[in-house]
Structure 1
């Protein structure tokens, strides 16, 4: 192993209260060890993201894809009055993986656990072996944390918040997994989790009763959302209006705008927001477009700063970020503390997305 400071071989670990090897005279925890915990947290999160991204590639075969295609068709035909097409695709796939065919997920995760050296990663993966349906009340929310209570078991949990906005919905429903990164009561919400507006109490009560009685049929649980749309469509016929899209939007504000915002996406947006605010730039339209780009593009980058730097250059070039910021590639790269050569790829990707 090479020491990061001296670039020479070393065989002992530096204690947090030991003198820092850099020679500053400070304790290691006050000097180069200051960011060690943050670095480890980032490494763990990146490894978890890599494992999740590899699931479909390593697990799915042609038979699985064929079965999923038929499943998607069935779910679209049955539930299109309640959910958007994109959300239905996500729900159909995640219920297939986590609930109806859990052996696919469990076999993959168990295999990954045996490969891991870091105990933190093993602990997170171990807790992810049993995804469950949950109906939860939203107790509080901020850009960092959403506090919820499972209304069937009355247990309280916390999960990642959203960087851009909070939601008026009082209830959450979908598939969740424990997550040790948020502490003993931490949760990870899957991409198909939905918010329910306050006025959908009839749906909430029906879901609560089904979960309390041990319902495990995924389709049956999601059919509960049709109860609300039937009532809405009846009113629509009386009033000679067609609120079908409004119904879809009200019944479930999707996790596409909540937990599909991954930690990496959130980090990119925060870096860009910081830059925009620091230089007092107008970039509201660009930030919306960037969020859409990040949610719909498979990005393979180790550092969020690299993507943020490329995005800023693309936004400025397209005039979606107002004038007044850094204009040279090397200066933007220096601001985000990344190499100039590493950001061109992401600048080009964002630029191409913006022109569509």
Structure 2
């Protein structure tokens, strides 16, 4: 391996690591706020990419009908809760269950977008409500369950989402056009515009997330819920709303990740699972609590994957996932067991 090959592999590792960083951040966010290890995050990545690919083929994306169906079921569940005398937040319910899915339906049927920016916007509008709807239907009824129970639910939901992906999009893969076709050399190293788009969008999203959590009232409320759910509830912070927002961010960032990676590699209905697992490895490096460590772990995973593909391409996945073993061993030696709040 000479220097040029090493720089090329490093570039690939950083680009892939940027995608894993976004997924790691969402996994840390969701776990901090709701104690849910959100395994179906990878399916949201695939759904985002395949939704855009379906629109570019002139089809109505099946994920639109999924959002509408989940919204109808969620409204029925809220009506049932209200009939039992429980308080229902109809503002948030109508936003996630009706307003956003119906807005996406009207846009898709009445004025189907033809330009790439409009198709991207519609894709995000379709996929974002799916996150809070999954939370309301699958996780919120078990909000006080153990982390193990929530993990079992995540595994089951992953299987359901993967099956829906196969039903919606079939077994054939899809790839979307690059957001930038530019190509140029820097010190003899070729760069593509798509790689710069991936790194630029990732950096912008991280900066926006930092400002959101540091400067906005809603972001501070999410941080308070992540630190102490019971204390946040006593201070008047609606923890159910915090769950909605965290899952909405997870769905939005997952869809963006899918849009960024679709021009680089062919996306199948089950591609997101492997990508999500690599994001999970990065989140574990950050102990599912530290955002900077999760980002650093994602870059490490991306670089390790890139260089492993050169030295031992047949075992690159094994090498990447083996990384989790020394991390867990190290944390088991330096972390004291703490009983859950329940």
Whether TM-score is above 0.5 comes out as no
The structure richer in helix per residue is: 2
TM-score scaled by length of structure 2? 0.28
The structure richer in strand per residue is: 1
Which of the pair has the greater relative contact order for Cα pairs under 8 Å at 6+ separation? 2
